[in-house]
Chains A and B, each alone.
Chain A
Amino acid sequence: QQPVQSPQAVILREGEDAVINCSSSKALYSVHWYRQKHGEAPVFLMILLKGGEQKGHEKISASFNEKKQQSSLYLTASQLSYSGTYFCGTERKTSGSRLTFGEGTQLTVNP
């Protein structure tokens, strides 16, 4: 079951904040977040375990609400380099290391 990401797209000015959400209808073991710039490969940002909140690099952090099977990615004081498409990948206990990816959220940061 593919996770649902929202919003589909967001446009920011440099310095503004954004939140990207990822929700699943299935019980999750962990949630991964990746960023993909146009024409490039996805790059790993962070993993959220059950009950975990993790700070990533730059000013990007995330949380995971295991009761609601939802994860949120927080981008604070956005920089131009944050532009790209953000994907969540969900991992279930029964799926081994396989991830099911959402459709992505396209983030554009303008000067």
Chain B
Amino acid sequence: NAGVTQTPKFHILKIGQSMTLQCTQDMNHNYMYWYRQDPGMGLKLIYYSVGAGITDKGEVPNGYNVSRSTTEDFPLRLELAAPSQTSVYFCASSRDSYNQPQHFGDGTRLSIL
């Protein structure tokens, strides 16, 4: 099983450009999440989804957008990239409801210059 797959692994973006970070999972999980992790810090929730067609904001949603058209895919879009969005982005998924472990992808390391 591939689990949670994120692409690209690394990317350098210029200020003001836009890009989409891809995330797909093959575990048939309904719940999916996007986090950002700044150096030496914990994980901050950007957006999450409880199923296809349903998304909601997390702690730090500004400057990002998401969509969830299928159970498998949960892309994260950065519009008008800013240096403050330089970070490592992790996608995760879990089974429904409470008390379920989250399974993380390997992350996308994004630099905005």
Contacts and interface: CB of A to CB of B under 8 A. Distances in A.
A29 interface: yes
B97 A97 contact: yes
A44 B42 contact: no
A12 interface: no
Nearest to B91: A41
Contacts of B48: 97-98
A102 interface: yes
Interface residues of B, number: 26
B43 A87 contact: yes
30 contacts: A2-B42, A30-B99, A32-B101, A32-B102, A41-B90, A41-B106, A41-B107, A42-B90, A44-B101, A44-B102, A44-B103, A47-B99, A49-B99, A87-B42, A89-B43, A91-B99, A96-B97, A96-B98, A97-B48, A97-B96, A97-B98, A98-B33, A99-B102, A100-B45, A101-B35, A101-B42, A101-B43, A101-B44, A103-B41, A103-B42
Interface of B: 31, 33, 35, 41-45, 48, 50, 58-59, 90, 94, 96-107
